[in-house]
Amino acid sequence: MEPVSEFLHMGGYALFVWPAFAVAAVVLTVLLVWSIRDLRRERDLLESLPRRRSKAQPAEAEDDS
């Protein structure tokens, strides 16, 4: 068995090792993409809101938290 297919075979446990890594990849990527998309959407939303204050002062959001 050439080294590549032997590697993929995972000693007969290919059905468990690869899905494990695949699930990890999927879950973490989906979370990352979803978070980035969320962030972009919020940024656009915030830009679209007429920033009344920004006319009076520079766009520095005033915070008194």
Binding site for another protein (CB under 8 A): 10-13, 16-17, 19-21, 23-24, 27-28, 31-32, 35-36, 38-39, 42-43, 45-46, 49-52, 60-65
- C-alpha to C-alpha distance for 18 and 56, rounded to whole angstroms: 58
- C-alpha to C-alpha distance for 51 and 56, rounded to whole angstroms: 9
Residue 63 backbone dihedrals phi, psi, to 5 degrees: -125, 135
CB of 25 to another protein, least distance (A): 9
CB of 52 to another protein, least distance (A): 7
CB of 37 to another protein, least distance (A): 10
